Amino acid sequence: MLSQSACAECQRLKLRCDKKGPPCGSCVHRRCDSICPAGTLISSGRGKRSVMSHVPELHSVITEMGERIRQLQEALIIVGVPVQKQKIFLATDFNHLSETTPAQKRDILGSLSVNRHGEAVYFGPTAGCATETNSDNDRQDGSLLFTAVTESFPFSDQNLNWDVDQALDQLFAHLPLEQRAWHLCDIYYRNGGWTGMPVLQSQTIELLSLIYHNIGTEDDGQGSATAHQMAVLFLVFALGALVDLDLPAYNTEADQYFNLASAAMSITSVLEDSTVETVQALTLFACYLGHGGPRFSMNGAWTMISLASQISKKLGLHREGFGSNLPSKLSTRCRALFWETYSIETIYGLSVGRPTGTLLSEVTCPFPPDEVEETEPFVKLFPGYFHARWGYTKNVSAPIMEGFTTASKPSYRSVLEIDQKIRKYIHSCSCERFPYVVNEAPSAYAQRHLISLLSKLHIMHLHIGSFVEAMRDRPDNPFASAYTHSFSAAYMTAMGAIEANKRNFSAHPGLFKRWWPTRESLFNAAFIVGIFATRYPTPKPRLPSTLLGLFTAVDLVEKIMEPGGHGESGWTLIRRLLDKAIKLHWQVNSHASLPLPLPMDPEFDRELEIFAGRHALSSASERFHRKQQLKNPQFENTSRISGCGS
């Protein structure tokens, strides 16, 4: 003992203290050794239960601190303190929260719409602005290089009179020069592989040698390339041309290689003759559909990656035993392919609000080791980069997808727990500790910032339903609603996403203009900030951070927009939100008699429902009428807000 007297608890109970320790034997026997020698227990008023004497005071202090933190968080947002100067303190007292969520109070089934051709288009509850930015981008048929490939449609069960060798000869005739081929592969791995790299660099080298020089490897034992191997290489060329900053965005060279890959995939059956290369090709198709401009959409990208995921599951790539009997090199490739495919599927699925066909509980495939530096001729990866990405899938995006895109919705307690899990993972992620160099290459920059950008997007997906519910629950003060955590988190994350995209554009404008995560995070963030700015204009002389953030988002969206491309009407919407926010800001600060918060009109309320994932059906004629309103200047100040569902 620190002194020769009995410990405080033994003195209180008038027990014999052996004065050994601390803790003494009596305290150990009574299981209160943590308070020995100075602490004491007091009765809790619940039978024989006791607590430490200072616990009630601590509870009082904690409760008071929690209330002060919530008040400070509310005040910071209202007065417009720049988001980069704020620290996010989300309360962790979940005991008072209801087990029900907005998802359980209302039917959150997603948004069902009908496009101009009368086809049903569905977006799930996490889709957010994808409802807007994808639904009006019906794919237009491009010119096909091989019109006869329809004779070998891969789903046909008939005996086809198709000369595979002749078809392959036609594909070989359209290969680029070898020097250009190597250059396109180099560009792809440096600029385009960061949201999905299903083909490792070492395999691409082997494909180039096989296709251009008919040189196989000992492992595959083949002397000529298959149709699906040709498709894989053409898709690497297509994605390389797509992110070639010396070419215009969505250039014809990229489309040409994409069409060649489509022809190659049609030579042999996708479903009956599935191989690892089939999964790789379908995954690359999905990446191109997500990035490829006006002709394509995230809805199509999700469809393709879902097919790739199902075929990988059919082959058994998700099981540990699949690669255990393969040579080390092939085992690494197969396991890396599964985790890349699964990662892309969860990210794309959350983007359009669709579920996965592969549950995390079914996955036993381990992470493969990093490739050695000698097998990375195009770009050197930071050690642990792939493990950080796959870990994000395993611990963050896959659980969110399983919890939020199924019929059974999670409790609000689960929403907040997942939010904390995301923040904890990002804080401990190895990407945050990758070395920084001045004027770093796009490859290094993307490795350091991609996961952080995706985490902001997923936090917005997580909270958007409760963000809207907070305004409906307490329109005068959403911070006083039961969903104040989500309201604060959605707003502050949206502001953070806008700032992150601003930094990304400053560093590498040409590259980030062609990244779909940029479009996705910007549209969702701009809509959240726009809602806040138009509902709660700040009464202060200078421009508040909310309005400045909305200015920045609109400017960035203008820079990434292509005529007729993804989200054209989505940009029109956030531009209108900005105009409305500016008008309200000057009215409030000119002492006009405006009720704050401003009343929510019925049409705006309906569009919030769609954005938050409520069940809605929108007809083609209604959508056309609303799009015409958005384009007509006479509706500038009086027309309805068209939401993210046009």
Q: What pLDDT shows up at residue 524?
A: 86
pLDDT tens digits along 84-119: 444 444 444 445 455 555 444 544 445 545 455 545
Question: CB 486: neighbour CB atoms within 10 A?
Answer: 28
Q: What pLDDT shows up at residue 312?
A: 94
Vertex 185: Cα angle to 183 and 191 (nearest 5): 95
Give dist(CA 155, CA 305) in Å, integer.
Answer: 18
Nearest to 646 by CA among 631, 634, 548: 631
DSSP-derived secondary structure for 217-253: -TTT--SS--HHHHHHHHHHHHHHHHT-TTS-TT-HH
First to last CA, the chain: 74
Task: Using DSSP, state whether 358 is helix, strand or coil.
Answer: coil
- Kindly provide the b/e burial profile for residues 142-175, where b requires at least 16 CB atoms within 10 angstroms of the residue's own CB: eeeebeebeebeeeeeeeeeeeeeebbebbeeeb
Give dist(CA 276, CA 284) in Å, integer.
Answer: 13
Q: What pLDDT shows up at residue 183?
A: 96
Cα distances (angstroms) measured from residue 37 to each of 13, 24, 31, 32, 236:
13, 8, 13, 10, 69
Cα distances (angstroms) measured from residue 353 to each of 103, 497, 522:
14, 20, 17
Nearest to 441 by CA among 189, 179, 242, 254: 189
Q: What pLDDT shows up at residue 578?
A: 87
Q: Which phi and psi angles does 378 have, rounded to 5°?
A: -90, -45
Peptide bond into 435 cis (omega under 30): no
Q: What pLDDT shows up at residue 576?
A: 82
Task: Using DSSP, state whether 197 is helix, strand or coil.
Answer: coil
Give dist(CA 258, CA 284) in Å, integer.
Answer: 10
pLDDT tens digits along 402-455: 887 777 777 888 889 999 999 988 888 888 778 777 778 888 888 888 888 889
Give dist(CA 344, CA 164) in Å, integer.
Answer: 31
Spell out, as residue ranges, where the chain has pLDDT lower than 70.
1-4, 42-59, 70-71, 73-162, 216-223, 292-294, 516, 538-543, 562-570, 591-646
3-state DSSP percent of the chain in helix, strand and coil, to 5: 60, 5, 40
Instruction: Report domain extents, the chain.
Output: 8-49, 139-310, 464-635
Percent of the chain with pLDDT over 90: 22
Task: Using DSSP, state whether 153 is helix, strand or coil.
Answer: coil
- In eight-state DSSP terms, residue 599 is P
User: Token pair of 466, please?
Assistant: 């409760």
The model's pTM: 0.74
Q: What pLDDT shows up at residue 209?
A: 92
Single-letter residue type at 407 = A
Q: What pLDDT shows up at residue 15?
A: 84
Task: Using DSSP, state whether 94 is helix, strand or coil.
Answer: coil
